[in-house]
Amino acid sequence: MSYNIFTRVSFENAKGLIPHMIRGISTSKSHRVDTINLRSENPQQRIKERISAIDKERPFSNFLTDRFDRQHTYLRISITERCNLRCNYCMPAEGVDLTPVHNLLSTEEIIRISQLFVSQGVNKIRLTGGEPTVRKDIVELIGELGKLKPQGLQTIAMTSNGIALKRKLPKLVENGLNSLNVSMDTLDPYKFELISRRKGLDRVLETIDQGIALGIRPMKVNCVVIRGVNDQEVLDFVELTRNKPIDMRFIEYMPFDGNKWNKKKLIPYREMLDNIKIKYPDVRKLSNDSHDTSKAFNVPGYVGRFGFITSMTDHFCGTCNRLRITADGNLKVCLFGNAEVSLRDLLRENVPDQQLLEIIGSAVKNKRKQHAGMFELAETKNRPMILIGGGRASMVNVSTKSSTYRTATAFGKVHIGRQAFELVRTNTMKKGDVLTTAQIAGIMAAKQTGNLIPLCHPLLLSHVSVDLTLDEKDNYAVKILSKVECEGKTGVEMEALTAVSIAALTVFDMCKAVGKEMIICDLKVVEKTGGKMGTKPFVVSTVLPFIVPIPSLNSEDGDCIMKSVRNTGSTLTH
């Protein structure tokens, strides 16, 4: 990144920054930083070099690193759901139900969230919406974010439709805004009105020019290209880059609730590029930053550049470093994912930072490797873009619950057929020891539950047992019983069910070459203790003769039963 992080930070402030940052890293690493050879003569430049060296040395926050080692350094915050345009590709014609104001994030909450993320290594924050400029305190908000620059925030960006921005822009830049995206889908004032259901193209153009004059770089212009609507203007937009130092970005049209997307309206970027190359055969591909969402090009001799945001035909999940906060305070780890965690509720319950970070960390750890494909997305429910900034499942907030000793016992079985049954019983299955392998798989799986089930909390389990028994009389069944224990704020039945499921799948996998008609069945929770309910026996059907009667399944008797099960099977506990 080439942004000048000292644009708004005085030299004196910058000096104060160094010891603070060094304290944040381990001794051995700070030693290495001290010995870094700083080449520049210019003191400001040297400090910048040193900060960037320190940043490289500092281990990145585990909370913001997902299972695929993606480090999330970019936070997009929607600061309002309201908009002064009604773009038909963004908002359903009937409008959207706005969240009551008291449920939206307050300025203080936005700042608190920003501070938290910056403390963990986020170096870029983008304000979006709705339309961020309709928020009355936008200038002050950017000013508050500007104060986070000494803590490592390098880029304060905003995405705006430019309608009501021009007057505010100088003050925003003064307060720290240093990257701007203005959306402009057409150069034709009549078409502008058609798309956005409002007038105002002249104001958008003026805002772009003012951004350039104020020295905002990059000055990006977003254009959603829709077949039959504005695709004929792509070449005109490229021509705009001849004299304007803008970064023109053609966005592939994406499906959101109510925006009437269909495949025919989508123009894949390759088609756009091919058309551009007919008029401009010399276009050059430019090199990209690893996190760039845009594939950038330029026409030789033109001052600006253009590029494509290819979310639909060539997703960039592999290098995704973005997290989103919706205006009502939900953390969304993927634009196209439905899982959301309410940070607003946690903030309003005065949950301490460490706990917030753990919850954020667990959501980040649940981020999928990549989002669903184009056609699935079109079928999937997602918020309209205007409500995301671009389904609402939400994790139950357990911060105010007290920790109690909890257990859960789950059961399931696999009918494996006579031949496989014999091989398992005599431990002569070609793939190896089925019962022991399935036990280990079950125990390991229980510990992974929070990573597998989207809204499950990660729990520190104190004990997991998985017991497998063979029951020839029950149609050659392998019966699996798992008991999970923990001291925690939420129940462990999902962990017990996960343990049984994965143990059953492991049995299935190891026997499938022999047992052609295997069935996994009767997965259920058979007992749960702890929490508000105390001991809660679940109704157990006759498939489980060895664990009835239910009242005997309190923890002590349960142990006896487990032992009797263990006598006939093999046992491995964690």
Q: Where along the sequence are the contacts to ligand SAM (CB under 6 A)?
A: 83, 89-90, 128-129, 131, 159-161, 183, 222, 224, 251, 253-254, 256, 259, 385-386, 389-390
DSSP annotation of 84 reads S
List b or e across 393-424, with b for residues whose CB sees 16 or more CB atoms inside 10 angstroms: eebebeeeeeebebbbbbbbbbbbbeebbebb
Smallest gap, in angstroms, from Cβ of residue 503 to ligand SAM?
A: 44
Report the DSSP beta bridge partners of residue 467: 481, 571
Give the number of other Cβ atoms within 10 Å of residue 282's Cβ.
Answer: 9
Supply the minimum distance, in Å, between the C-beta of residue 309 and ligand SAM: 8
Instruction: Between 142 and 254, name the residue whose CB sits nearer to ligand SAM.
Output: 254
Dist. CA 154–CA 289, nearest whole Å? 16
Cα 233 to Cα 242: distance, rounded to the nearest angstrom: 15
Beta strands in 260-326 (DSSP E): 284-285, 294-298, 305-309, 322-325
Which amino acid appears at position 487 of this protein? E
Least separation, in Å, of the C-beta of 160 and ligand SAM? 5
**Which one, 224 or 461, has the nearer CB to ligand SAM?**
224
Backbone angles phi, psi at 387, to 5 degrees: -90, -10
Spatial distance between the Cα atoms of 115 and 392, rounded to a whole number of angstroms: 25
Nearest distance in Å: CB 87, ligand SAM? 7
For residue 374, the minimal CB distance to ligand SAM (Å) is 12
Alpha carbons 457 and 461: distance in angstroms, whole number = 12
- By C-beta, is 207 or 506 nearer to ligand SAM? 207
Contact criterion met (CB below 8 Å) for 361 and 323:
no
> From the CB of 185, what's the least distance to ligand SAM, in Å?
7
Burial of 526 (0-12, 13-18, 19+ CB in 10 A): buried
Q: Residue 127 Cβ, how far from ligand SAM at the closest point, in Å?
A: 9
Please, which residue, 261 or 476, has the CB nearer to ligand SAM? Answer: 261
Find where tokens 């942004």 sit: 3
Distance CA 181, CA 337 (A): 24
Burial class (CB in 10 A: 0-12, 13-18, 19+), 202: exposed
Q: Which of 55, 231, 345, 509 is catalytic?
A: 509
Task: Show the tokens assigned to 538.
Answer: 């679940």
Nearer to ligand SAM, 259 or 366 (CB): 259
Q: How far is the CB of 122 from ligand SAM (least distance, A)?
A: 19
- Sign of torsion over alpha carbons 558, 559, 564, 568: positive
Residue whose CB is less far from ligand SAM, 152 or 304 = 304
Residue among 141 and 484 whose Cβ is closer to ligand SAM: 141
* Tokens encoding 239: 């021509």
Q: Angle 179-181-185 (CA atoms, 0-180°, nearest 5)? A: 165
- Compute the least distance from the CB of residue 228 to ligand SAM, in Å: 15
Identify the DSSP state of 395.
P
Q: 353 catalytic, yes or no?
A: no
Nearer to ligand SAM, 89 or 237 (CB): 89
CA-wise closest residue to 330 among 99, 73, 144: 99
- In the bound state with ligand SAM, the residue whose beta carbon lies nearer, of 58 and 295, is 295
- Cα–Cα distance, 266 to 251 (Å, whole number): 10
Strand partners, 259: none
Is residue 497 packed enough to be buried (19+ CB in 10 Å), middle (13-18) or exposed (0-12)?
Answer: buried
Tokens of 495: 């962990």
Catalytic positions: 509
